[in-house]
Amino acid sequence: MYNLKSGKYSVIAQEYEDETMPLEVEIKNSKITKIIPKKEMIPGGLEETVFTKIPNEIIKKQSLDVDAISGATHSANGLIDAIGKVIQRAGGTLHEHQTEIQSKNLSTNVRQTNLKNIRSRYSSWQTKPSKIIKEYSTDLLIVGAGISGLAAGVQARQLGLKTIIIDKNGFVAGNGGGVEGIFGINTKMQQEAGIHAKKEDIIAKEAELGQYRADGSFWVDLVNNSAANIEWLLSLGVQLTTVDDYHGTCMFPTFHWFKGGFASVGYVPFMKKEADKLGAKFLLETSAISIIFDQGKVKGIYAKTPNGDIKINAKATILSTGGVGHNPDLLEEQGWSTKNIHYCSMPSNTGDGYQMAMSVGAKDMLKESPEFMMNYIQAFPHKGVHLYLDPINGFMALPSGGPVVFVNQDGRRIVNENVKKYNLLYQRMAIKATKVTYEIFNQSIFDKLTEGVENADQILEEAVRNNEGQSLFKASKFSDLAKSVGITENTLKQTMKDYNSFCQSGHDLEFNKDKDMLIPMEEGPYYIARLDPSNLIGVGGIGSNRKFEVITENFEKIPGLYVAGMDSTMQYRDVYTITLGGSACAHNVNSGRHAAMNAKNYIDSLK
């Protein structure tokens, strides 16, 4: 860079989800000498990683031609754009510099073949790289640094295991940063709040909701360990604030909120700090590409780093890669349509752990495992990973149901539209069985559902006008709604006639929807919206036993291989029973801790 005017420049960098970072940039002798963030950042988080590493690279190279941090391209681009503005204000020109970030793509493609044997399908996940630039050896290798990976790492170091934790992102937390709280029963917090619940009632209800198809001993372990796990977290500095029933959606008051409402604030920084203090070694921007399987035992993995491929020898390996929630091929294998899908999960959750486990003969639980799949309407605003919290388009808002009507491609109702009251995830389950599902509402119902939402009518008007994806239509008659999406007019008119009669009588003769949700639609304008899938979390896929040892189809353990977090959820089948709020997070911590404990026993047996 040259011919830049010296001085201090203030600029705002755009981050993800409309967040911003104020910066002070100092230029001396035509060189950028300082790039200083002017906002407090969470230690070890995405922001700190982006706004520490990339500024150092820019200053070192005196160029905007720098590499992005894997998993944080949006924030990195915002930083680059901001520095570009400073260069222009200082008299420079951007054409002299490369301003497009070259992102390190550390993810791997899904290997698909026509072979029936699933182990053969994923055999490439045992491929040895042609060149290894570095080799490590450790007692325990943890693949993934989210909720479960951090729990496993801290527990392993407390047990004295030499531990390496890798993550394909340039920061820890993964998908877990957005988790709001954790389940626990009979904790000190509950006792202090005067909250009481019986363990056996919780376990019995979960078995009922899961149609008794899961091995209930997994629930017994999780529930019995939950209080001790929470006390362990608190001893490590993890911050929990209150305990309740999560906005009234849970059957029991067992939801312990993280400070700030997110694990990225109340959990991740404290667990990372403890792991660092105990001496766990983190290798970030390091993506597992294949598993080392020798003489029937797992002995580590090969991984890709920004500088080349490495080999990590490990006596035991824990897979905690966060599930398959951002892999459309694997989602479709589960039976979900991925057309128009919106991902609320991290792009890094591509099922790497699942595919490595399958390559060594693990029990395949993918088709029986649930997804945290919800509805959204493409025409409404749907930017970013926090769509599920949106007051109009989120998982408890307009697309989730209530006093609306859901119809299939034939114009027939398919479900009690208020089924979310039993489980928020039920809003999508029936839709899985249709070619397409539409939601019908009128203006008064929209106003009721968006009461208190600023500019709701304006947002609706713009959504109809712009109509992204041809997914939302407005009309004064039901017959015109039918025409707009290709439904037979007479069928839809009859459906709505019947529905309005149910509303008038206060009794739904088809699906027995709650009386207070039966609001007739007799005045327009009317709207019809296509309900598309919005996926937050992939839940499960890899079979394991109660020790979190990965098992084969014959329930035999695969020596040296363990699984934790969203890769392993044997307590669920098909649907995540969110009525026990925070149980997935509780499972992440529990499985991470106990996988490490059991790996310690295995490692000791090798001596």
Question: Averaged over 112-127, what is the pLDDT?
Answer: 69
- Is the pLDDT confidence value at 141 over 50? yes
| Per-residue model confidence as pLDDT tens digits over 438-450 | 999 999 999 999 9
Delimit the domains of the chain by residue range. 7-96, 121-165+240-279+295-332+351-369+539-605, 371-535
Q: For the chain, what percent of residues have pLDDT higher than 70?
A: 95
The pLDDT confidence band at residue 282, using thresholds 50, 70 and 90, is: very high
- Is the pLDDT confidence value at 111 over 60? no
Q: What is the DSSP letter of 448?
A: H
Alpha-carbon distance 361 to 113, whole Å?
16
Q: What is the topology classification, in CATH, of domain 371-535?
A: Flavocytochrome C3; Chain A, domain 1 (3.90.700)
- Looking at residue 287, its pLDDT comes to 97
Question: Averaged over 181-186, what is the pLDDT?
Answer: 94
CATH 3.90.1010.20 is held by the domain 7-96: yes
Question: Averaged over 161-173, what is the pLDDT?
Answer: 96
| Per-residue model confidence as pLDDT tens digits over 56-82 | 999 998 888 887 676 677 788 888 889
- Is the pLDDT confidence value at 323 over 90? yes
- Is the pLDDT confidence value at 246 over 90? no
- Is the pLDDT confidence value at 163 over 60? yes
Alpha-carbon distance 17 to 72, whole Å?
12
Q: For domain 121-165+240-279+295-332+351-369+539-605, give the CATH superfamily.
A: FAD/NAD(P)-binding domain (3.50.50.60)
- Is the pLDDT confidence value at 249 over 80? no
CA atoms within 13 A of residue 27's CA, in its CB half-sphere? 21
The kind and range of the H/E element at 272 are: helix 268-278
Q: What residues form DSSP beta bridges with 535?
A: 343, 373
The pLDDT confidence band at residue 535, using thresholds 50, 70 and 90, is: very high
Tokens of 26: 């100092």
3-state SS of 303-317 is EEECCEEEEEEEEEE
Three-class DSSP category at 150: helix
**Whether the predicted model's global pTM rises above the 0.85 cut:** yes
- Looking at residue 409, its pLDDT comes to 97
- Looking at residue 142, its pLDDT comes to 98
Q: What is the mean pLDDT of the chain?
A: 91
